[in-house]
Amino acid sequence: MLCVKNDFLILIYTYKNKCSMKKQKYVKTFEKHNKLNENNGKAIYRTIIQYEILSDEPYDDEDLETISNETYDGNWSGLMLEPKILNQKLFGKEAVKAINSQGSDSEFFGLDDNGNEI
C-alpha cells in the first residue's frame, strides 16, 4: 500500500502479521521515474483521489454523481483525505496498461497499443 504525506512516499507492507513502514522522498522517486520515461513520447497522468463518507447505512458502491449529491445535498458527510491528488506520469506500455485496466481504449488518449502517439 502507498501513502503520501508531507512529501514522503510511505510504503506499508506486512510480513508475518506485522506492519512495517518505509519512508522515502516520493518527489525524487517520481522525478526519477518520469525522467527515465520522458523520451518515450506522450504522457498521461494517473490521479488517485481518496474520499471518506459517513452515512446512516452501509456504502453500496455508488457512482461519483450519487456520492457528490449525497454529500453536498443529501444525508451523507464527506471529506477528501490525504493524499488529495497524486499525479504520476505514465508513458508507453505502462500508460496503455493503465488505460486498458479501466476498460478504456488507448486511442482515446491518442496512443496506439504500444503507447506511441498516433
pLDDT at 60: 86
pLDDT at 106 over 60: yes
**Residue whose entry in the numeric block shows the C-alpha cell 457528490:** 68
From residue 86, give the alpha-carbon distance in Å to each of 25, 35, 83, 118. Answer: 14, 17, 7, 27
Reported as a single tens digit per residue, the pLDDT across 57-95 is 998 888 899 999 999 999 999 999 887 778 889 999 999
Q: Is the dihedral of CA 61, 63, 68, 73 positive or negative?
A: negative
CA distance 15 to 54: 31
pTM (predicted TM-score) = 0.54
Q: How does strand 87-91 pair with strand 8-15?
A: unpaired
Reported as a single tens digit per residue, the pLDDT across 11-33 is 444 444 444 444 444 444 545 55
pLDDT at 95: 94
Average confidence (pLDDT) over 38-47: 79
pLDDT at 72: 93
Q: Are 99 and 109 in contact (CB under 8 A)?
A: yes
Reported as a single tens digit per residue, the pLDDT across 44-53 is 998 888 899 9
CA distance 68 to 33: 34
